[in-house]
Amino acid sequence: MEKKAALVIVDVQNDFCPGGALAVADGDQVAALLSDYAASFAAAGVPVFATRDWHPARTSHFKVYGGIWPVHCVQNTFGAEFHAALRLPPGAVVVSKGSAADVDSYSGFDGVDGGGAGLAQLLRAQAVDEIFIGGLATDYCVKQTVLDGLKHGFSVVLLRDAIRGVDLAPGDSARALDEMRRAGVRTLAAIGELRL
């Protein structure tokens, strides 16, 4: 039987791009690329989801309140907005995560839409069984979203050209890729290989 696909774009927000509070090197480069993916998927009738880090001003996720990260992606600030080069197709669903004061929420599967429905629930409601994932950052939110997608029983394809990592320790992104592959993710090298 044909698989029913969805695209999940992870955290392509200003604070994760150059100039942002928690910038990922070349993070902005995935924005235009993921816009192209999103347009291709939408043209094929594939639903598109975009997750965002959406923190309260005070959360134990931030270093100043006991976490490990600088303040980033605070709700309703410029840093939390999607990068200007990210164009989402009409009907794209925004999924927000990290909104509680005491959780990190790296995974898009921790997020909810405007009506409070979780990502897994939203995907199942559209009978999706295969998700394509790209975005920021390889070694945190992309990795956790991929691993959770597999745990939820979805077939997961990583858009290899549309991810970038933090690499807090050198090699973190490479290790994250290994971990995702061991867990069963498949990869697509470039948009030219996409067959919908």
What is the set of active-site residues?
Answer: 11, 97, 141
Between 53 and 139, CB nearer to Zn ion: 53
CA separation for the pair 98, 101 (Å, rounded)? 8
172-183 vs 143-151: helix crossing angle, rounded to 10: 10
- CA-to-CA separations, 160 to 63, 69, 103, 109, 126, in angstroms, rounded: 30, 25, 28, 20, 25
The interface region with Zn ion, picked from 3-11, 24-32, 53-61, 168-176 by CB under 5 A, is: 53-61
Q: Does 15 bind Zn ion (CB under 5 A)?
A: no
Q: Does the CA dihedral 94-83-21-16 come out positive or negative?
A: positive
Cis amide prior to 137 (ω within 30 degrees): yes
Smallest gap from Cβ 21 to Zn ion, in A, equals 10
Q: Does 53 bind Zn ion (CB under 5 A)?
A: yes
CA separation for the pair 51, 27 (Å, rounded)? 15
The interface region with Zn ion, picked from 46-54, 76-84, 108-116, 158-166 by CB under 5 A, is: 46-54
Smallest gap from Cβ 47 to Zn ion, in A, equals 25
CB 12 within 8 A of CB 135: yes
Number of residues in the chain? 196
Counting residues that bind Zn ion (by CB under 5 A) gives 1
Between 5 and 50, CB nearer to Zn ion: 50
The interface region with Zn ion, picked from 47-55, 117-125, 130-138, 170-178 by CB under 5 A, is: 47-55
Three-state DSSP class for residue 7: strand
Q: Which residue is nearest to Zn ion (CB)?
A: 53
Between 1 and 68, CB nearer to Zn ion: 68
Within 10 A of 196 (CB to CB), how many other CB atoms are there?
A: 10
Smallest gap from Cβ 119 to Zn ion, in A, equals 16
Smallest gap from Cβ 39 to Zn ion, in A, equals 27
Q: Residues in the site for Zn ion, rule: CB under 5 A?
A: 53
